[in-house]
Structure 1
Amino acid sequence: MSARSDTQGAGRPLAPQQSTPAMLGDQVYSALVEQIVRLDLLPGAKLSEGELAAQLGVGLSPVRAALRRLESEKLVVIVPRSGTMVQPINLRMSRSILEARLPLEDLAARLAVQRGTKKEKEQLLEIAVKQRDSERLQDKLDLDVLFHSSVYELTRNEFLIPTLRMYLNHSLRLWHYVSRILESENWTTVDSVTMAQAMLDGDEETAAAQLTEHVGHDGQEIITLLGEHGL
């Protein structure tokens, strides 16, 4: 499937509310991240600042601020005098994401064990059980995202949390790509119950090993599928 050449139909206006310029920029950023991750804006699609502003019901300034932020996270590419496009997907990038993400997930698991409360860890286990018992793949994915995001919050580290969210967004985009664009039927999932139980038990080593195995499994499966399609 080829990338869309414009942004028509990519989004909906943001709900009107009292916002500072910074808050509005965050809202535009979040809306564009969702569209890119879920492939409403396909890899390689050209982006028009004016069209995005019109679709989201905002001015050009918050759109430009959001695009600069997305560029810093390598979700878009801005070429001077040529325009902006959604970051293409390829095998090299997928390997780099996994390589950078794995040690940070290990650290996140250890910090979550050390700093999370018993109640917070019990909530993690509840999420993991729901994920394991869900029958729909999309439900499993949504709960997996919630699980990882919750682990990140337990680190209590204001630098680590946004970095891990960035890598999670990239990984989600890759998942949607291999599942929807490549129409892969070979996708499997790993449940999070064992690692959640280890966190609740205070077992730092097992929690870290389980989380990195989980992330590594999914990342390697994506790399394999991309390689099979010559990307």
Structure 2
Amino acid sequence: MDLTQILTFASVTALLVMSPGPNGLLIAKTVPTSGRAAGFANIAGFIAAFFVHGTLSILGISAILMASATAFAFIKLLGAAYLIWIGVKALIGAWRGGTPPVEVQAARRPRSLRRAFVEGFLTNALNPKVSMFYLAAFPQFIAASHAGIGSAYLLVVVHSLINALWFGWMVLMFAQLGRFSRSTRVQRWLKGVTGVVFIGFGLKLASLRQG
């Protein structure tokens, strides 16, 4: 796997991580009442869940790639369709405008670090979009590099690092970032860029050939 492939994956992943979602909402709930340490424990839980999703996706894709060219073509087109669907949905959201700010209910009592970790893990582990993203994105990198499981886990590490950097910054700068991330203008811009990138990524995956 070359640097260009890694940077391409990192760019798409960064947009996915930065888009508003359940991880950001959990950080928003945790930090004001339980502090920065609990927020970082949430992030540790997110990362642990990435490796669970990644392992399941890697094992499944590896079996498919070894099975037949027909199976590879099926998962490739399914993944491409999913990425394009994400892109189209994001563009529609950008066209319609940003979503209204979400009121976050504070916890009744501070979370322990263990509880914060478990909450972060379950939030990510129970989110099927993570596995769907891996299933859609991994084939073009695994097939192109022939490096198999090692390269796929490298992508999981890249995803985890981007997640840690983004949400770590959110924990440290939550008061300012909370208003910024809910800005209608910012949401429309982010959705528009995400839509274009994911549609292009899906079209690239659809044109990929096995081997």
Give the TM-score band, short-chain normalised.
Answer: 0.3 to 0.5
Higher relative contact order (CA 8 A, sep 6+): 2
Q: TM-score, normalised by structure 1?
A: 0.32
Q: TM-score scaled to structure 2, two decimals?
A: 0.34
